Structure 1
Amino acid sequence: MASKVAALLFLGLICFQFATAQIVMDCCLSVSEKRLNLKNLVSYSIKRAGMGCDISATVFVNKKGMKLCVVPPEGNPWVQNLIKILDKRHPHH
């Protein structure tokens, strides 16, 4: 009987740890307004403040795998243009 209780407590503890585990987000700590060279970019992602990150940003990935944090696309036509071109290159993005 004691072993069943101990097993249930152990199982409960494991479930509790999974439920309280936080998902690690890859967020930017700051953003740049520096324009990037399209020929070096391979992909992008958009991070939103309040959705796991403190600040909104567009994260471009270059050919070397480096992640470059720049301003979000809203109100920044040059960022919107880069995204549009990358989407045409890789429509499955």
Structure 2
Amino acid sequence: MASRVALLLLLAVICIGFAAAEIPADCCLSVTDKPFPRSKIESYIIQEAGLGCDISATVLITKNGRRLCTPHPSLSRWVKAIIDHMQKTKKGQH
């Protein structure tokens, strides 16, 4: 009987480990489509669905370190405008 309990506990630990590994800690699980001032944005990360995350999104990182989950640039004009502006600014600095 003790071996069955130990086996069940081991199986539970393995299942919990797999479940925890399914969702990376830095993925957006939902997005907010509320425009944010580009002057407060320092950088961004494009998140693609199927590459470790469930949804496609854009993570906008503010100058004070906050991470905002916003729509993918292909789905939102204001997000695309921020990214385009950042890319133009970056090219001008080189």
Per-residue deviation, 1:89: 2.2
Per-residue deviation, 1:78: 1.2
The C-alpha deviation readout for 1:44-79, integer Å capped at 9, x for no partner, is 010011011011100000010111000111131111
Residue 36 of structure 2 is matched in structure 1 by: 36
Residue 80 of structure 2 is matched in structure 1 by: 80
The C-alpha deviation readout for 1:6-32, integer Å capped at 9, x for no partner, is xxxxxxxxxxxxxxx99x562101100
RMSD after superposition: 2.1
Within a 5 Å distance, the mapping from 1:14-25 to structure 2 comes to: 24=24
Amino-acid identity (%): 42
Q: Is the CA contact 1:25–1:52 (under 8 Å) kept in the aligned structure 2? A: no
Which one has a larger percent helix, Structure 1 or Structure 2?
Answer: 2
Gaps of 5+ in 2: 1-20
Letter in 1 for 2:27: C
State the number of aligned residues. 71
Q: Is the CA contact 1:40–1:63 (under 8 Å) kept in the aligned structure 2? A: yes
Structure 1 residue ranges, 4+ long, deviating more than 2 angstroms after superposition: 89-92
Letter in 2 for 1:36: F
